Structures are given as C-alpha cells and as structure tokens.
Amino acid sequence: MAIVFSGVRPSGEIHLGNYLGAIKVWVELQREHQCFYCIVDLHAISTPYNPKDLKKNIVKTCLAYLVAGIDSKKSVLFLQSLVPEHTELAWLLGTLVPVGDLTRMTQYKEKVKKHKQAKAGLLNYPILQSADILLYRAELVPVGRDQIQHIELCREIASRFNRTFGKFFPLPKPFLSEGEKIRSLTDPTKKMSKTDNPQSYISLFDPPDLIYQKILKAVTDSGKEIRFSPLKKPGISNLLLIYALISGKEIKKVEEDFEGKSYLELKKSLAELLIDELEPFRLALKEHSESEIIKVLKEGAEKAKEVAQENLAQVKELMGLRV
C-alpha cells in the first residue's frame, strides 16, 4: 500500500478532462492505497482570481469529488489552506532550492507570458507543490503531463533534504492515466482546460442542452472515416477516447460500433452518453448545501493535520529547529 497525494486548483469549472484524467483515477487508487486528496486553494491565488468565485469553485470541486466516488471515510479530502503546515514546510524547503531551478520551470514561463507579471507566488508555486506532496511523505502522485517537471523538482528537493539532513522523504513518482489525454473540443491539438473558452470543455455541471450543443460543435477532421489516429485525426480521436473512457469499451470496439456511420452519429451518441454520465453531478448541485460540503473539508483537514504536524515536527528536528 502506497501513500498517494494529489490536488486540483479550484480556479474554474471542474471539467471532463479533470474527471477522466484525475478524479476517476483517484477513486480507483483509494481502494488500495492511503490517499490524501486536496483542493489546493493556495495555488489558485498565484494567478489573478475573484475571491467570490474562488469560494464557489472550492465547494463545487469538493462536490464533484464526492459525487464521483471519493469516500471521505477512506480518503482524506481537505482544503489546503486549512492545514498551515503546507506553507511552513514550503518555507523550509525553499531554503534548499536555487532560484534558477524555479525560473526554468516551463509553466512559470508560460504563465508569466500569459499574465504579463512575474509574481513571487507564481515563482514559488513548485516549492509549495513539493511541500504538499512531501508533507504526507507521498510515494505516488497522480498528475497531468504538464506537471511532470514539477514532480522532478520535488524529487530533487527530497533528495537534497535527505543528503543534507538525513534520509526522511521518499522520492515520489508521477502517475498518469489515459484520461489525462483528453483534448479541447475547439482545438484538439491542446489539452482540455478550464481556463480556455467555455465551448472548449464540458463542465461536470453543464445542463444537458449545453452538453449536446458543445459536442455537436466539437472540431472534427477532414474525411469521413471514424478512426483513432491522434496525429492524423486529432478531433475524431479525442471524441473516440472520451467515448471509450465513459462507456468502458476499448477504443477498437468503439471504432467497430461506428464503422460506416457519420461524424454526426458519433457526436449525437457521445452527447447522450455524457448527459447520462453527468446527471448525478447536476442533481447533487441541487441536493447538497454549501455548509455540508465545507463540513467535509474541515473534517478532512483535521485528519490531514494529524499526519502533517507529526511529519513537520520530524523535519524541524532534523533541521535543528526544535529546542
């Protein structure tokens, strides 16, 4: 049994890519491992945001986890800012990281270009992410491919700490899933992202008519053949992958089911499949109150603190900070 840590920024709508690439994977991992699943709100404020929207997004993100099958009795589900040990460990680990290691991070460069400002919080994002993971001595980290560089830095930070102060942290490994490959509906050369045009993604809470409209407008490719070929037919391949992951069928079987049929038939069938799959999320939005969800996060934070405080105390002992 491994210790697992993962988190999602509550910086927008939880979408189909998050669901297939992260949340469904988390549900599977909790069956065999000790899992810490975090809503990383401190990361969300490293780029411009609206405070009112942030709170709504935190609640909807937690609700999505619960509806998808994250069991708050099996897994520790919590809000990052409720466990201050995350930021304290980030400061301690920051003393081991050369500035050059941070400025070469691809995501930092991309976000500075996008937001036109180089904030210290954005620069230090990977240190806080490393603290999130190492605070629980996690061995396995479900992440997207865009986070692999950050996990490599986390492993390097853990190694530096172990060499300098004594072996304490395991070297965490990234865990990728097929669902992580879900692409944008409007530009299948890019991954599905909640920071893009809303037409480019399916929110887990989208109403049926909107899901139908977005899928029917999804970008496809030239030709008529329904075939999985990500390089030659990225649009159709993306729809086939979504269909396979939602239906539980092999992609080859989905190709066979739609052999000789039109792109429109595939889209209509996929839209219906998604509307049925996501119905529990729409219903939950009406059935659960904000106070219920916040209670779950607070209870999870208390469980997380027990582990966090013990591990942080040992880190400080090794660093000579306990008197």
8 A C-beta contact, residue 169 and residue 137: yes
Strands (E), 59-213: 76-79, 140-142, 173-175
Indicate if 194 belongs to the active site: yes
Which of 191, 214, 233, 267 does the annotation list as catalytic? 191
Distance, in Å, from the CA atom of 203 to the CA atom of 198, rounded to the nearest integer, reads 8
Residue 182 tokens read as 């879900």
Which strands, in side-by-side order, build the sheet including 76-79?
76-79, 34-39, 3-8, 140-142, 173-175
- Residue corresponding to tokens 């992609």: 251
- Residue corresponding to tokens 């500035």: 99
Which of 111, 181, 233, 267 does the annotation list as catalytic? 111
Strands (E), the chain: 3-8, 34-39, 76-79, 140-142, 173-175
What b-and-e string marks burial along 176-193, b requiring 16 or more CB atoms within 10 Å of the CB?
A: ebebbbbbbbbebeebbb
DSSP at 105: -
What b-and-e string marks burial along 133-148, b requiring 16 or more CB atoms within 10 Å of the CB?
A: bbbbbbbbbbbbeebe
Indicate if 191 belongs to the active site: yes
Distance, in Å, from the CA atom of 93 to the CA atom of 96, rounded to the nearest integer, reads 5
Indicate if 55 belongs to the active site: no
Which of 109, 116, 173, 194 does the annotation list as catalytic? 194
The total of other beta-carbon atoms located within 10 Å of residue 227's CB is 16
Distance, in Å, from the CA atom of 217 to the CA atom of 307, rounded to the nearest integer, reads 47
Residue 109 tokens read as 């460069």
Catalytic residues: 111, 191, 194
